[in-house]
A and B are shown apart, each in its own frame.
Chain A
């Protein structure tokens, strides 16, 4: 039965479209996921959420097939129980969408595996995450298909699920947008979630059809469409669903903080810059940055170590597994946002400038707007110098004066030799430090 449903399911026409969309969502976006396992898995997981609306619609379409074909009444005296007639249809929809998701993952795996980075163990959690969304969508669509009738059931189920999935996606961490290297998916939690989803699908299959056109009792147009006596079993199934949903929510988020790695990727002499091992692909960029830090003149005070976020400190207490809540005297940390090197040097420049300049000690005192803008200029020059020049890949919403100062700083990093730039910086630091506080 299952194979014949697979062969005849209308979802098969959808597979090429879904595959094209999945691959496009991998490549027609920021491609920093390439070469990092959790990012790869999360990027390939995401299309499942956006396409799950169609999965819900397909499930509703499949369950309403007897009503559409006018065979609902003929199937009433069948000896085969209803659930055994519905199961293969729902399973076929699940199978097609799971296949699309797995093929998308396969594309991601092939692309990332070429550089053979460490951390493949972070991959499976995100795969299961996509499966949870698909099974939940099919369960939802199947249930809607039994309450509403025919063509509208599919359309309504699809649209409603899309809204629900996106909302819950953020609320319950049903899906993720990127696989942050400092997070991991708890395999136990996500597997239990998958089991919950499968049970919900089973409940949707067991739900007695409330709409008699689907159930096949009364021909269309004759009599009332809803059977009150079926509300009892339906209420039981709904109550079980609610209990399950609460239990699943009680499990907590499957996203948790990663423990400290056995060996972080650290490099540099004057300054140690440490990365998560999975971010091996940024090693070369960071080596260039540390080399530039080493060449900085002595009037810059440089912290002994910079850590990638999550290595020695994390501030967000999203769940119980956060291991550092107190910043203490831990090394300053940086993010690699969307794979941008500028987000590394931006943090470093802020830290170094804050330590190298003498600010006003008194509360409320300042050196004046113009002098402060010089500090902004210095900071943005340092940021650009550490990257190796060029134009920043981000935008800020700072005031126009500060943006102009920042642009001057970035421009300075592109002009003249390092020695000329250092001489300029030295003058600026002297000028800033000697400016009076008032």
Chain B
């Protein structure tokens, strides 16, 4: 059975897909700044922010947009093994296949051998998971200006230290992503629903409901997606059990918002 609630629920599945990228004014500005930074002769670009602020989505969107015009490689999950990391880069960027171990020195020889080619862009998500030693080698690699790196980091105290110690002295572009404001969150939710033709559901979100959601999620996109997924799941459950008349349907019920928050752990009840 497919109702507006089921369709709306699916909109908020927590999937990082460039097609689901929602253009918000502030985010668009940041995105444009990132695109401009890539054109500059920078060695590395740092994209950081708290979990759920849309860093991965940014990288995906960037990869999608840049892949048509230039050589760009996205690594969504970190390759923690050093040899494996360089082997993957050698194969993807320089088309050099290695069956055995490939250390940094050997990889640098490959890089030098292929100089003069267009500078490829490597996008590394979740870079906080890389070891310090590997991060130092990535930095050295970026210093050769043969590969340009865009890395994302979670903004924590530890990651700040990494940023300071290893990258602060380099030529850097740092871009911080933040949680959405209440107004941005409303646009985000409604745009997302309207993109999936869920106009009725989009109209249910009054300012009061969005403010309540924002208060619960602090404007975090991931938490908001989780909450709204549960919210529409609850609506569809009420619909299935023919109890929809007991809750508001012309606008998002505060009761359902709070029940969703309880279920997702945003409210400790």
Do the two chains belong together in a single complex? no
Q: Which residues of A contact B (CB under 8 A)?
A: none
Q: Which residues of B contact A (CB under 8 A)?
A: none
